[in-house]
Amino acid sequence: MKYLIITILTFFAATFAFAQSLDAKMEVRAQEIGAQLRCVVCQNQSIEESDASLAEDMRRLVRARLEAGDSNADVIDFMQERYGDYVLLKPPVQGNTFVLWFTPFALVLLGLLWFAFRRQKAIANAPLSEEERAKLDAILKGDER
């Protein structure tokens, strides 16, 4: 009898847990969103990674919004409105983050442009002459003795 009750209870617990969990697709979306949201009381952890109870609440909130039919962007907007820019691990592109967002690309672009258009003096100037090379070799050999 005892075992029967345990079995039934386990069964109910299992179905309850099953009903509680979203279908797989929605769970994937929830995790995708969660990875972009910071647990606001933690030090540099997303709400998906954190064990803090606030993160747990925030995870629930994300799933509740998804179940209510929000799109991924809606959920993120909702969380941003509620917790401020601080909650976004991917900072929004706006006035105070232009420098942050565009510097890396500007650096690479400027670097590549400089590289492509730099004066290539090598053609005009010869590298080490034979004499210079011999001198260098002599110095290096001398050291190795």
Tell me the C-alpha distance between 144 and 13, whole Å.
78
Nearest distance from C-beta of residue 78 to another protein, angstroms: 17
In the bound state with another protein, the residue whose beta carbon lies nearer, of 4 and 139, is 139
Q: Which residues, 6 or more positions from 45, have their beta carbon under 8 angstroms from its beta carbon?
A: 38, 39, 52, 55
Q: Which residues, 6 or more positions from 112, have their beta carbon under 8 angstroms from its beta carbon?
A: none
Q: Does 49 bind another protein (CB under 8 A)?
A: yes
Tell me the C-alpha distance between 39 and 101, whole Å.
22
* Residues 120-139, mask of contacts with another protein (x by CB under 8 A): xxxx-x-xx-------x--x
Residues 89-108 that bind another protein (CB under 8 A): 89-91, 96-97, 99-101, 103-105, 107-108
In the bound state with another protein, the residue whose beta carbon lies nearer, of 1 and 145, is 145
Cα 125 to its chain centre, rounded Å, is 47
Q: Does 46 bind another protein (CB under 8 A)?
A: yes
Q: What is the DSSP letter of 48?
A: T
At position 126, the amino acid (one-letter code) is A
Binding site for another protein (CB under 8 A): 10, 13-14, 17, 21, 27, 31, 35-36, 38, 43-46, 49-51, 84-91, 96-97, 99-101, 103-105, 107-108, 111-112, 114-116, 118, 120-123, 125, 127-128, 136, 139-140, 143-144
